[in-house]
Structures are given as structure tokens and as C-alpha cells.
Structure 1
């Protein structure tokens, strides 16, 4: 609902409200919502133990501008500030470990049926692309009952775009 209202405000030409920020990081937040000339596209996939390929189909991919706070959150969650994988059993939020930053400033697009995503009009800058690749596996508990257990998780990669380029990514583990 919050994302929907923010998108409606942007489509109506209303600038998002940005609190006073003497550090200048507010400019990075607004830059994620302004139009640029770059394109970021890619696929997100994981291979199961049995060799099947699972994709981000049905989930949302996110593009998040890199700033100090976001970089620290990525490094803490993924163990690296460049790229990583976070298992589904370690995540409690639907948008992954960066949920608050995503709601505040990230762009989101749906992954298509083949697990492909595409961000257009991206301003020059450095970003994190994050996608969720998750599926459920029936598992038998000690009591003999079956339940569904989440497999997969979140993939993330740092990237830089400039000068009207198209950056192609494959998010995988």
C-alpha cells in the first residue's frame, strides 16, 4: 500500500517528501526516483540439489541506490558489500534484509515467468540489485506430519551504471 501510494505520487508529478538532511544523503534517495538514461536488466536463479533451476518468477526485483547506511546493511546481512546470497531460513521479512531501505527509496519491478527483470530510466550511479528466489519443499516432521519448508533465498549484487548504458546481470549463487 505504501509503495503504491508513493508510485501514484510520482506518476502525478509530485516530488516525494524529503526531510532536511545536512549530509546530502537525501539527494541519493531522490535520485533513485528520478529519470535517467541507463537500463539494468538481468535474471535471478538458483539451482536445486536435484539440478532443477528456480527463478525469481512471481517475486519482485529491487534496485537500491548505494549509500553508507545501505552498504553497511548489505555487508552485515550478506557478509560482503559486493555480492551475496542469504538463505530463506535466515530472513523474516518479505522484502529481505533491507526491507526498510527498499520501502523508503528502492525501485521495484516484477520478475517475469522466466525470472527476468528490467529497470529502465536509471540515473547514473551505484546500486544494489536484489532478487528473491524461493520455493517450498514438503518436509516430514518428527511427529510424522508434513509441512512446507522454504528453500532458496535472496541474491544481491552491486553495480554501477553511467552514460546511458545497459547493464546485464545474472544473480545466482
Structure 2
């Protein structure tokens, strides 16, 4: 029987499929993921054992960024485009396996897909009854990003990141 160590950074994915909290000593804290990523890249460029490093997003937030106003025109246009792509895909598949010409199944798939796409989009949008007349993108972000390291190399990592901060 083998025993796993409490430190899991660099562990092989799938070996321990259960979610485990991160462990290690903090060697840096950053306001953005980009800064934390730059710090780990700096460690990697300077021969630090980055398999011992974990980036942890602390204080998670769900951020919904509004990208624009929805109108019937935009909804139906997007539904038509989505349906047309799916119909084209199905038409191409049918065309590949048909004994007759390939153009008829492609055109039929394109037209039927467009009609179904417009219909489905109209039904979905009408069901909201004007309660959500905007489009948005949702992201999971953190309030800050901590860089943790295995205790055996934490002090060296902290020194390296302190020097990086002085340069910036």
C-alpha cells in the first residue's frame, strides 16, 4: 500500500480524482492571474522546480460581463447562423453517404437547419418575455492569486519572486 503526501502540486492528473485543497507555503500573492502566471514563468526560466508550484485563486467571484443588447433581429440572425451551420454539417454527412448527388442533401440540410435554428431561437427569446434583453459572458475569477510551493523549495522561490518584484 502506498501513502500519498499531503502536497499535491505537480501530481499526475487522474491519480487522485477526488478534489483536494491545495497545500504548500505561500511564496507570492498577485492581484491578477496574469501576474501569477508571469511569476511562475519567471521561476521556470530560472530552473526552479515548478512541479512543486500551485497557483490558487482566492475569494472566487462569478463575473458576468454584458456584451450587448438583444433585439429580435440579433436573436433571429444568431439562430439562423447556428441552425445553418448545423444543417450544413448534417447535409454534408448525408451527402457523403447518399447514392445520388451530394448537392441536394447539403442544400436541404442548410435550409431545414436554418428554419429550425430561427424557430428555436425565437421560442427561447419569447419565453424570457423581455426579462433578459442583453447578451453576456460569464467568467469565474478570483480576488487574488497566491503562488504556493512545496516547503522544500519555498524559501528559494520566495527570494526569486521578491527579486522579480523589485525589478518591476
Q: Is the TM value for this pair above 0.5?
A: no
User: Structure 2 length as normaliser, TM-score?
Assistant: 0.19
> Whose helix fraction is larger, Structure 1's or Structure 2's?
2
User: For the pair shown, which has the larger CA radius of gyration, 1 or 2?
Assistant: 2
Query: Greater RCO between the two (CA within 8 Å, min separation 6)?
Result: 2
